[in-house]
Amino acid sequence: MGKLLTLFEDQKRTSPITPKHHDLGSKLIISMTSYGPRFKWLHLTIKSLLEQTIIPDAIVLWIAEEEMGSLPNSVRELSDKITIAPTRNLYSYKKIVPALRAYPHAHIVICDDDIYYPRHWLEELVRSFAIFGKAILAHSVHRFHYLPNGQMAPYYDWSFDVQDNRSRTRSSDTIAVGVGGVLYPCGSLHSDVTDESLFTELCPRGDDLWLYVMARLNGFFPIKVGNRLHPIFWPDTQSVGMFRENMYKNDDVAISKLASHYGKEVFLTEAI
């Protein structure tokens, strides 16, 4: 980790950047969350977001009310550069639901709290937004498949982090994955998106799935942008989190509930 931090600081010193403002017409908000076990390295992720070549209008860190007092000084010291806001503990949904409520007319970019984001990460999302129409822009997408009997394949049989040309067009069979960073344009998500009673019942641990359905109901489909993202995770952050549990159980249950509530059409592949 010491070597990585040295490289991080050397890059800032030897390759300075002149960040530019976006021209999207609405505010551009980076929204993220974190929780206790990941607080130790959180400031490094935030610093990588502050070193982007595109300047967002705000970086907002949503922290559960009961954990605000546990934030380390390394994060508090950045409060003059970012907004640190308390919220009800909505678990992984903290990264976007409070932002959608607070900034209803903004473009929202979500990201995770445990990796280093390269300098052009945000610019690649913004640049793609200007090119494509009703699309969700994502650095990482997974593709789901159907079995011969017409049932959706279990989550562990999906294709992960696909890079083919089809994923780089509006795709009905890919799902944007939050860890790589996702830009949700203003108006891209169905009004149900902030309905806590619904998402906690249908999809309590699968925010990526929930957001896919919310976007699809509004006619927005994912597009993979940029090259393959090779995330640099901070030490020990992958030993905690929901992704291990989601991959083999909760996501399949959530897909079934979402299809039952909104109709199987929300997961059917179709020409766009």
- Cα–Cα distance, 120 to 45 (Å, whole number): 14
* H-helix segments, 15-81: 39-50, 73-76
Q: Contact 135/173 with Cβ under 8 angstroms?
A: no
The torsion region of residue 6 among left (phi > 0), alpha (psi -120 to 50) and beta comes to alpha
| pLDDT tens-place string over residues 72-107 | 999 999 999 999 999 999 999 999 999 999 999 999
Give residue-wise pLDDT tens across range 144-180. Answer: 999 998 889 999 899 999 999 999 999 899 999 998 9
pLDDT at 150: 84
Per-residue pLDDT band for 32 (boundaries 50, 70, 90) equals very high
CATH 3.50.50.60 fits domain 2-262: no
How do the domains of the chain map onto residue ranges?
Answer: 2-262
* Residues in CB range of 104: below 8 A, 6 or more apart: none
Q: Mean pLDDT score of the chain, rounded to an integer?
A: 89
What pLDDT, on the 0 to 100 scale, is given for residue 242?
Answer: 44
In this model, does residue 246 exceed pLDDT 90? no
